[in-house]
Structure 1
Amino acid sequence: MKKRALFASVAAVAMFAGMVGAASADEVTDGVARATENLAKYASTPEFVAPGEPFDAKACAAGKKMMSIPNNSGNPFLKGIIDRMKTAGAEVGLEVREWENQGQPAQWVQGIELATREKYDIIDLISGIDPGTVAPQLEAAKAAGVKVMTSHFYDPSFEQHPVVSSSLTIGFGEVGTILADWATVAAEGKANIALVISTDVPPTIPLVENFKKQLAANCPNCKIVQEINVGATEWGTKIQPAVQTAVQANPEINVIIPIYDSMSQFVVPALRLAGKTGEVKLATFNGTPFVLDFIAQGMADMDIGESLDWIAYATIDGHLRDACGLKTPTALNVPFYIFDKGNVAEAGAPAQFDTGYGDAYKSGFRTLWGL
């Protein structure tokens, strides 16, 4: 297992803290030390942990079909997961289809209704569609014998909608904690933050709550200067001007956190136009390759990565267990891995979706599935 030092700045922070007063110095130094210790947990190459007992996945999947509906097919992260689910599903004989859409609820309804008519076994709502927004159609699907499942959507703190058979949760709150600790250490205990969020995506809520909670716990001199809330369907038109205006109007901003890394394609140009590239540190979450390339090019600083292929295998595994009446995991159990300038080369040049995480999960799932 590889492990690296994410930051070597605790001593430097102690020097900085000495300049801001004795009581504050202790708080800053202790907070940065706690944050540094927490970040170290995400510096090791991820290890595979079996999500359940072995089962005959081919026998379970025989003749079954799954419709995967993302909140928006324009999101490269979700597109990448579904493409890999098609491949992983094919290994055991599960047919996986994506219902392509542009993020409109009416389009989600069409996909649900088609899956119901064509007698799919599973509807997978992946990362963003609140089942409550399309509950009547999902209830009809359930009544017709289709199992409704979610993946990479609910935080463990969320209450699952009654129509949902099972959920493979992801630790969005944990992501918020990591981002807060990174900002604390990267800015040496004095982060002035612009936070870019989308409150219309439900997992944003625990992520931001934990971010603020962890920032308050470990960084008394840190503050959120501006919170920029942009709906998921408006990223392409509203993020860039909002970020550019924010950093120009608030020159004290030294950290920007677009909480989902596909937002970065609009944040990076905003920083460039404002003359802030390299001056304002950028950290985010998902591990999308073009953002990892931004790190390699010096236009971003950190991305919390998660292997899309690992997510795909874990989703197929969990959904098949549910579909066949087996005990189902309550989480994806896909580990987070911090990419920064010290290790981003591991992701490839150019970066790839699944490079840098190791491949223990592939043999792990294949063994579980009896392949």
Structure 2
Amino acid sequence: MSEPRTRHDRLRRPRAGLRSAFAVGALAGLLLATAACGSSGSSGGTQPAAGSSAPAPAAVASAQAVVDQLLKPPTSLGVTDRLTKAPTGGTFVYLSCELALCQILNKNMSEAASAAGLGFKSIPIKSADPATLIAGMQQALTLSPPPVGVSFAGLPEAVWGSQVAAFAAAGVPLIPVGAGETSKSPAVPAGSLNGPADITAQAKAIASYFVANSGGRGKALVLNVPDIGAFKQFTGDFSSQVASACPGCSVKQVDITLAQTASNGVVPAVVSALQRDPSIDYVVTVEGEWTAGLVPAAKAAGRSGIHIIGINPTSVDQQAILAGTETAFVNIPLKITSWKAVDVALRYAQKMPIADGDGATPYLLLTKATVTKPEDSVDAPSDYVAQFRKLWGLG
């Protein structure tokens, strides 16, 4: 196993995030981060990113090999080193917003903390009011004894970076989830869980599926949300992956504003783009929830046979996959992420090396062949609880 990059030598990471629910709900915080991550320089329309018209059999075969691997449930959590000793107690704090995804993380972090013999405290915050995050962070540091770790989701470092020094002084690690770019700091030992490397992995997975499923001839329309760094990164990564791997494919982008995501404006924008270019046969979404209702809307506009693929599926998307109206998504394992957050705190307490993101996130490609019971968090390996308990010396 390669030596993990620790909190002492990690470089800055490109921005990325967890789910649009965090990103849109935390709009005020994201706008604070815009200057740091830059903008796309595009205000709308579509942008080409592709090569010639002839498919390359080698490219299709290579993409299919990636797909075949992603269809197999992962067996590793991405972290393999056991703790030097069993956990010795303390309290884990989660700053929980009102969104459904925050509640999933809250529930599963509580279960992970309990399994590790830790106390658990949930402090409520509001995703649209970054000041409540700061207040929650400051409240966590008033606990006596100090917590063994403090986690939260979605808001970028531009919002909470001013608090890092206080956490470093207190010896308490911050464990953001889907927060994007994080600076080199001992107080943020894993960077962001579900961070930039995971976005790149998701983009490669979906790009490979697109190339293989289309036989190297697909014409894709990918959503680009310039104001959200995670999704801007995904769009760029997906486009570059396809451009380099599939000379017979093409990719266009349709810019989506935050106002459109908040007002059911995504589907009309996509339908308009499909009408402008009848050759498009794949829509690549960065958030499954945003393209709900796209298939009937496209049919009403005279477009059928559209394959919907992407990242961040809801249970509704998985039901649509089983029904044949959507095609493939890459999951985000929120339960495993919750246990990883507690794992980071335990490793920090024992002064162990901590890899970026606590190791690579295990992904599964969700297709009709792999979706069984639709749910908002599909987590594989399915024995993740037993694996974490073993890593923690709990049998």
TM-score for both structures, normalised by structure 1: 0.78
The 3 A distance-change label for structure 1 pair 272 and 91 is farther
What do the CA deviations read for 1:277-318 (whole angstroms, capped 9, x no partner)? x61111112353222112112221001124322222222212
Are 2:199 and 1:172 aligned?
Answer: yes
- Kindly indicate whether the alpha-carbon contact (under 8 Å) linking 2:148 and 2:345 is maintained by their aligned counterparts in 1: no
Secondary structure of the residue aligned to 1:112 is helix
CA distance in 2, matches of 1:322, 1:268: 47
C-alpha displacement of 1:176: 0.9
- For residues 127-168 of structure 1, the C-alpha deviation after alignment (integer angstroms, 9 at most, x for no partner) is x322133322343444455422233445xxx66354623324
Cα distance in structure 2, aligned partners of 1:323 and 1:236? 44
Q: Tell me what 1:30 maps to.
A: 58
Q: In the alignment, is the contact (CA less than 8 A) between 1:194 and 1:226 conserved in 2?
A: yes
Q: Given residue 80 of structure 2, which amino acid in structure 1 is its aligned partner?
A: P
CA distance in 2, matches of 1:204, 1:330: 20
Residue 270 of structure 2 is aligned with which of 243, 255, 259? Answer: 243
Contact 1:243 / 1:270 at 8 angstroms: preserved in 2?
Answer: no
Q: Offset at 1:353?
A: 4.2
CA distance 1:259–1:219, shift in 2 (3 Å):
same
After superposition, the Cα gap between the structure-2 partners of 1:339 and 1:206, relative to the gap in structure 1 and judged at 3 Å, is: same
Higher relative contact order (CA 8 A, sep 6+): 2
The one-letter code matched in structure 2 to 1:258 is: T
CA distance in 2, matches of 1:252, 1:24: 12
Q: SS state of the match for residue 149, structure 1? A: strand
- Structure-2 separation of matches of 1:294 and 1:303: 11
Deviation digits for residues 193-212 of structure 1 (CA, Å, limit 9, x no counterpart):
22123333333344233212
Are positions 1:310 and 2:326 aligned together?
no
Provide the residue aligned with 1:43 in structure 2. 71
Q: Within 2, Cα distance between the matches of 1:255 and 1:179?
A: 11
Give the counterpart letter for 1:326 in structure 2.
M
Is residue 197–residue 227 contact of structure 1 (8 Å, CA) maintained in 2?
Answer: yes
Q: Which residue of 2 aligns with 1:199?
A: 226
**Any unmatched runs of 5+ in structure 1?**
1-22
Across the two proteins, how many residue pairs are aligned to each other? 334
User: Residues 36 and 296 of structure 1: is their aligned pair in 2 closer, same or farther, counting only changes over 3 Å?
Assistant: same
Query: Structure 2: which amino acid aligns with 1:66?
Result: V
Structure 1 residues 45 and 286, CA, compared in 2 at 3 Å: closer, same or farther?
same
Q: Deviations over 1:306-350 (max 9, x none)?
A: 432222222221232124422223234331111112232x2x1xx
- Report what 1:7 is aligned to: none
Answer yes or no: is the 8 Å Cα contact 2:284–2:310 preserved in 1. Answer: yes
Say yes or no: does 1:102 pair with 2:127.
yes
2: CA distance between counterparts of 1:78 and 1:273? 36
Q: CA separation in 2, counterparts of 1:132 and 1:354?
A: 28
Is 1:281 the counterpart of 2:307 in the alignment?
yes
From the superposition, tell whether residues 134 and 306 of structure 1 become closer, same or farther in structure 2 (CA, over 3 Å): closer
Structure 1 85/36 Cα, relative in aligned 2: closer, same or farther at 3 Å?
same
Amino acid aligned to 1:176: A
Change (3 A) 1:357 1:166: closer
Overall identity of the aligned pairs, in %: 19
How far apart in 2 are the matches of 1:151 and 1:37?
30
Q: 1:369 corresponds to which letter in structure 2?
A: W
Contact 2:173-2:345 within 8 A present in 1 as well:
no
- In 1: Cα distance, 2:213 partner to 2:101 partner: 26
For 2:230 and 2:204, the matched residues in 1 are separated by: 14
> In the superposition, relative to structure 1, how do residues 186 and 54 fare at CA in structure 2: closer, same or farther (>3 Å)?
same
Match of 1:90 among 114, 122, 127: 114
Q: How big is the shift at 1:240?
A: 2.7
Query: In structure 2, how many angstroms separate the alpha carbons of the residues matched to 1:98 and 1:268?
Result: 40
Residue 187 of structure 1: CA displacement?
Answer: 2.5
Displacement of 1:41: 1.7
Q: Is the 8 A contact 1:36 1:185 kept in 2?
A: yes
What's the C-alpha RMSD, in Å, of the aligned pairs?
Answer: 3.0
Deviation at 1:360, TM superposition (A): 2.7
Deviations along 1:32-89, whole A, 9 cap, x unmatched?
A: 2221122222111210254322344541xx232322456xx43x44542332122222
| 1:1-371 correspondence runs (5 A) | 25=54, 27-49=55-77, 50-59=79-88, 62-68=89-95, 73-74=98-99, 76-92=100-116, 93-97=118-122, 99-118=124-143, 120-126=147-153, 128-154=154-180, 160-162=183-185, 164-167=188-191, 168=193, 169=195, 170-231=197-258, 234-265=261-292, 267=294, 270-271=297-298, 274=301, 276=303, 279-331=305-357, 332-344=359-371, 346=372, 348=373, 351-353=374-376, 357-371=380-394
Greater CA deviation, 190-199 or 354-363? 354-363
For each residue in 1:195-246, what CA deviation from the matched residue of structure 2 results, as whole angstroms up to 9, or x when unmatched? 1233333333442332122111122232223322333994443323322322
Number of the residue aligned with 1:12:
none
Q: CA deviation at 1:354?
A: 5.2
Residues 91 and 120 of structure 2 are in contact (CA less than 8 Å); yes or no, is this contact kept in structure 1?
yes
Contact 1:101 1:108 in 2 (8 A): yes
